[in-house]
Amino acid sequence: MADTGTAPGQQTGFLVDFATSPDQYKHWRLSIEGRVARLSLDVQEDQPLIPGYELKLNSYDLGVDIELYDAVQRLRFEHPEVGAVVITSAKDRVFCAGANIKMLGQSGHGFKVNFCKFTNETRNAMEDASANSGQTYICAINGPAAGGGYELALACEHILLIDDGSSTVSLPELPMLAVLPGTGGLTRLVDKRKVRHDHADFLCTTLEGIRGSRALEWRLVDELAPRSNFSQAVAAKASEIAQRSDRPVSAQGIKFTPLKRKMGRDQLRYKNIQIDLDRKLGVANILVKGPSEAPPADVSAIHAAGDSFWPLALARELDDAILHLRLNESEAGTWVFRTHGDSSLVAAYDNILLDNASDWLVREITLYLKRTLKRLDVSSRSLVTLIEPGSCFTGTLLELALAADRCYMLEGTFEDDPDSSDVPAAVRPTGMNFGPLPMVNGLTRLEGRFLGQPDAVDAVRENTGAGLDAQAALELGLVTFIPDDLDWEDEVRLALEERASFSPDALTGMEASLRFGGPETMESKIFGRLSAWQNWIFQRPNASGDQGALQLYGTGAKAQFDKGRV
């Protein structure tokens, strides 16, 4: 794959599909016993996602990580009884060697960056399950854990390391490949595990890693156990943690049925989302449809509806659509969101989620919406929202407007368009805008929007449930511009054409900087600070040039470094 920055979908005609299910897993084994699930990594060497490398030593590629993501999602929804998840290796004397190096070496810049972003999001999803779902991840390191292998462990809340005199944890990326550990490792060391920076420095520059008591003393792992006692120690810890979970022991999970999608050359259709690509303009037009019927009457009806319950179906479809567009449609640089539907129905669904927030399934659905909107925020695409008559930017869907880099709302109606509604558009806040759906920096999108005028959040809150026309929305600060019928088409077209004329790289850096004013969290630091440095390093000749370490790995040749510090 040449280093052009385009993703494999466009370059090879090969589309990466993010949908899978346990019966299709090649690399992970999922087993459940009582309240404890076990995810065992057993990578099939000869089953890489893209030809050209072997997945030796339980190393992973995007295909392996797509399965992990699927398992993490299903455990939450299909297994309410599971209170602890043990991540371990099914292979003897090796835990995981991290991301496959040959795969990285042959990948273009865009693919590498996308791969890291997705693996980061999956590890964040594990931490979200531990923090918010009562499904806590534990890592049983039963052999050497190198690079991404140790980073996988770092995403767990408790790390057991086998104390066999040889198994180590290591982050050898820098000495071996001249790149950073790309999946949050550096940030989790100092921010999550609060490892001292000089200790972290030593770890990250030491090829062979650190074992046993020093790993424990330096906070790199939480517990040691000898080989003879390792399984029992893992089982004991898992059981102890599972007992503390608030998940219901005897509830029935729901089933994730296969996503229904129809893909054309320039189109993608889900039940609730339709996407039309304007390749000339570099735009993906994304239309989100509101619910077509009233929500289920009560919690048991929500459970009975399963994955056809509108908010859950929407989250799954939007999640899949974002992943597809990010990796397979890299030249659609602007995502234009519209909605269509009945605002009162959206509000009714929001309210049923809010009213039943303590139910385990409702909690999961809300958390899934949260994670999906976070995925949107960290996507390297310009986000533009268009609010037109017939739309339903209400509550959860209003977040699509608040997330956008720009939001245009039509003042009035389209007078000459017989297909358009003759009722002006209105946006409507619900309780979902004031807490349940925070960004990666921990703020709601409204809080982030109004850092300079915290009162403005209260002013919006006072309008909860109210339909706000363009003028009111502008005054409350919810939208950027409100052109009328006369100006709308020109103003929107010009904005999109202009956007398409800019350098995609500069837009990515700008958007990543402007979207996250205010405080930072471990999560925001991973996508901001860490990933930005890694992107830079991925682009530097010392790593990715012809004589770079990542490029030459495995050839026996030694990398030649430019010794100048920048």
Site for a copy of itself in 333-392 (CB under 8 A): 333, 380-381
Binding a copy of itself (rule: CB under 8 A), the pick from 405, 411, 447, 523 is 405
Binding a copy of itself (rule: CB under 8 A), the pick from 470, 534, 551, 552 is 534
Element (H, E) at 287: strand 283-289
427 binds a copy of itself (CB under 8 A): no
505 binds a copy of itself (CB under 8 A): yes
44 binds a copy of itself (CB under 8 A): no
Rg (CA), the chain: 24
Binding a copy of itself (rule: CB under 8 A), the pick from 59, 120, 330, 396 is 330
Token duo for residue 407: 């939001």
Query: By C-beta, is 83 or 282 nearer to a copy of itself?
Result: 282
**Least separation in angstroms between CB 148 and a copy of itself:** 16
Distances in Å between the alpha carbon of 86 and those of 62, 137, 160?
Answer: 21, 6, 10
**Least separation in angstroms between CB 93 and a copy of itself:** 28
Q: What type of residue is 81?
A: E
Site string for a copy of itself, 156-195 (x = CB under 8 A): -----------------xxx--xxx-----xx-xxx-xxx
340 three-class SS: strand
Cβ neighbours of residue 36 closer than 8 Å, sequence gap 6 or more = 82, 83, 84, 85, 86, 235, 238, 239, 242
Q: Answer whether 90's CB lies under 8 Å from 29's CB.
A: yes
Query: By C-beta, is 262 or 563 nearer to a copy of itself?
Result: 563
Binding a copy of itself (rule: CB under 8 A), the pick from 183, 339, 430, 542 is 542
Give the interface segment with a copy of itself, choosing from 96-104, 221-229, 266-274, 506-514 (CB under 8 A): 506-514
Query: By C-beta, is 241 or 402 nearer to a copy of itself?
Result: 402
Site string for a copy of itself, 275-314 (x = CB under 8 A): -------x--------------------------------
Choose among 362, 295, 293, 288: nearest CA to 318.
288
**Least separation in angstroms between CB 2 and a copy of itself:** 11
473 binds a copy of itself (CB under 8 A): no
Q: Answer whether 260's CB lies under 8 Å from 103's CB.
A: no
Choose among 164, 247, 123, 212: nearest CA to 522.
123
- Residue recorded with tokens 């770079």: 548
Choose among 174, 61, 146, 150: nearest CA to 107.
61
Cβ neighbours of residue 214 closer than 8 Å, sequence gap 6 or more = none
Query: By C-beta, is 135 or 508 nearer to a copy of itself?
Result: 508
The size of the chain, in residues, is: 566
Strand order in the sheet with 223-225: 28-33, 36-41, 84-89, 136-141, 158-162, 223-225
**Least separation in angstroms between CB 388 and a copy of itself:** 18
**Least separation in angstroms between CB 217 and a copy of itself:** 11
107 binds a copy of itself (CB under 8 A): no
* C-beta neighbour count of 405 within 10 angstroms: 18
Query: By C-beta, is 341 or 504 nearer to a copy of itself?
Result: 504
**Least separation in angstroms between CB 543 and a copy of itself:** 7
556 binds a copy of itself (CB under 8 A): no
210 binds a copy of itself (CB under 8 A): no
Q: Distance between CA atoms of 221 and 223, rounded to whole angstroms? A: 6
